[in-house]
Amino acid sequence: MSKKNETRCGYVAIVGQPNVGKSTLLNHLLGMKLSITSRKPQTTRHNVLGIKTAENLQLIFVDTPGIHTKQTKAINRLMNRAAESAMSDVDVVVFVIDRDQWGEADQRVAQRLVSLNVPVIVAINKVDRLDDTDTLLPVMQALHEYLPEAELIPVSALYNQNLETLEQSISEHIPSGEHLFPADQITDRSERFLAAEIVREKITRQLGAELPYQVTVEIENFSRRGKIIHIDALVLVEREGQKKILIGSKGERLKNIGQKARLDMERLFGDKVMLKLWVKVRGGWSDDERALRSLGYSD
């Protein structure tokens, strides 16, 4: 096969601290919303594959949970192991940092990357928020000390700035090989998983500072009847007070969450959605690895 016609395929891990814009970056690279986003840490809790096929090139992005360096609950340990497992067998790592926010936690992530023997590209994100690009110089100098072989690319994931340069750099590290997924497949995750994530995103965005981090969503029913998808989602919290906050006065907050989640699901799935939400208290689930695995969390 000639170089011009050879197919190339490879895995790309997107890693970094919580809340630096990894999921936003993936969504813009794919040209569609796949991973849920919010301004709160712990929004991404699972490794999510995003698949982009363009002619002979297939990029398999792995959006990872943020790497937590201080929190010690079981859910944080599982998320760390998920992120680290994604880095162990990929063709290139994109290390996302927040413009001028380089600190101890970023240093710890960088130190883990040094031992991987995998090409690393550092995406310095949110540069649209910089008043003076000279403030990047100390960050870039620190990065060069920790990751001397890494390529540094300033980007704005939110505003799609310099992402073509980033994608071109990624593609240069992708080896020859047959495509692993059909050209029209965009993720390895099921519709049930995506539905649960959409509900969790709306909860995260709706509650803001009141957000109980001990919230997860379990899909109890996902069925198609004609052109209508029926979804029953159970929202689990750890305390009765969190349940009251989530439901809101006369159920208005939960109703609003459901409406916004339903609209996103209809855009994603292409069919009308009938969504029902319930809230249930299950104490201690976020610090119980057995409970986490039963809820679909995995490393």
Rounded mean pLDDT of the chain? 83
DSSP string, 223-252: EEETTEEEEEEEEEESSHHHHHHHH-GGGH
Question: Are 174 and 9 spatial neighbours (Cβ–Cβ below 8 Å)?
Answer: yes
pLDDT band at 29 (very low <50, low <70, confident <90, very high): very high
pLDDT tens-digit series, residues 159-208: 999 999 999 999 999 999 999 999 999 988 889 989 998 998 898 888 76
Q: Give the C-alpha separation, 15 to 122, whole Å.
A: 10
**Domains detected in the chain:** 8-171 (3.40.50.300), 191-294 (3.30.300.20)
- The amino acid present at 84, given as its one-letter code, is E
